[in-house]
Amino acid sequence: MGKRLYLPLLFVFVTVAAGLAASAVCNADPAPLPSWNDTATREAILTFVRGATTPDSPDFVPPAERIAVFDNDGTLWAEQPMYAQFFFILDRIRELAPQHPQWRDQEPFASVLKGDVKGALAGGDKAVMALVMATQAGMSTDEFSRIAADWLAKARHPETGRLFTDMVYQPMLELMDYLRAREFKVYIVSGGGVDLMRGFSEKVYGVPPENVIGSSLKTKWDDGTGTPRIMRLPEVDFIDDHEGKPLAIQRVIGRRPLMAFGNSDGDLQMLQWTMAGSGRRFALIVHHTDAAREWAYDRESQVGKLDQALDEAKQKGWVVLDMQKDWKRIYGDQP
């Protein structure tokens, strides 16, 4: 074969190879969202994302503006009968009790140590704050990260016996992957403490620490010991819930989300803020309808109450996901 034939052939091969490589990147999932049933909910997501990512679509959105925000508790992982972060607090109180003998006679600690969670919570927000500060303040950020990682590696849900990190919703993992493959920036915006979430978000969700927004304590710079540390103070810095969510999104991301996913009234303002932006946007509420495979709850629930946001979703035509009908499986190891 002479050079004359060889060169065009090389060109064809290179072009084909480059095309194959590009298409492998862009269409990595020929059947996206495999744990989702083929319902209107899945179709609404696929249709919206197709519009936002197709260059000649009237709904095209440049990659830089493809921000997707997800609540965590009840949206990405289970939140019943109590937030996982509350189990963390209870476990830490038990672990720390020997160093605090006075806790045996002091509420809310005494009730926790007796296993009486209801009694501990009888003190309301003040009791919760006392538990938070006793377990999450007074150490450096590095120390807290180690404590959180240790707990996450072994802590199990009292009813399911699963690791908490195995109670993440497989369909949502697929959705986050699907969005990232289409150049969305995926954020978690949660009422939970930001540093505990960062202890598993990257490994479990593929969401790096800088894409996690949450509640926080005030901190203090301490360079008195030669090696600088950042100390966690027993004082609330920010509660990332209800209107706190859009405020934190604006402060940290500085750009309005294109898509927002939540499951409770605490997410309502985040969804409102998202949908009040220009152009087509997407809001979805996870409705916990599956008592057999997970929990079924909404308007009357103590944790993850979904009432006003459900009404507003129906009124405004936001997508309401039905966990029982829309999801083939809840957790990744289910058939």
> Which residues lie near a copy of itself (CB under 8 A)?
1, 9-10, 13-14, 16-18, 20-21, 64, 67, 141, 185, 194-195, 198, 202, 208-210, 212, 216, 219-221, 223, 227-228, 230, 237, 243, 246-247, 250-255, 269, 272-273, 276
Structure tokens at 265: 């009234």
Structure tokens at 186: 């995926």
Using the minimum distance from each CB to a copy of itself, give the nearer residue, 158 or 206: 206
Structure tokens at 94: 């038990």
At closest approach, how far in Å is the CB of 196 from a copy of itself? 11
CA distances from 221 to 216, 224, 228 (A): 15, 9, 7
At closest approach, how far in Å is the CB of 127 from a copy of itself? 26
Using the minimum distance from each CB to a copy of itself, give the nearer residue, 209 or 332: 209
At closest approach, how far in Å is the CB of 276 from a copy of itself? 5
Using the minimum distance from each CB to a copy of itself, give the nearer residue, 17 or 40: 17
Using the minimum distance from each CB to a copy of itself, give the nearer residue, 32 or 244: 244
Q: Which residue from 211, 232, 43 is spatially nearest to 144, judged by alpha carbons?
A: 232
Using the minimum distance from each CB to a copy of itself, give the nearer residue, 58 or 254: 254
3-state secondary structure of 167: coil
Q: Which residue from 69, 22, 19 is spatially nearest to 275, judged by alpha carbons?
A: 69
Using the minimum distance from each CB to a copy of itself, give the nearer residue, 18 or 28: 18
At closest approach, how far in Å is the CB of 205 from a copy of itself? 13
At closest approach, how far in Å is the CB of 163 from a copy of itself? 22
At closest approach, how far in Å is the CB of 232 from a copy of itself? 10
Say which residues have a Cβ less than 8 Å from residue 310's Cβ, sequence separation at least 6: 285, 287, 298, 299, 320
Amino acid making up residue 224: G
At closest approach, how far in Å is the CB of 203 from a copy of itself? 11
Say which residues have a Cβ less than 8 Å from residue 221's Cβ, sequence separation at least 6: 228, 230, 231
Q: Is residue 49 packed enough to be buried (19+ CB in 10 Å), middle (13-18) or exposed (0-12)? A: buried
Using the minimum distance from each CB to a copy of itself, give the nearer residue, 18 or 153: 18
Q: Which residue from 183, 175, 181 is spatially nearest to 42, judged by alpha carbons?
A: 175
Q: Which residue from 52, 50, 47, 43 is spatially nearest to 27, judged by alpha carbons?
A: 50
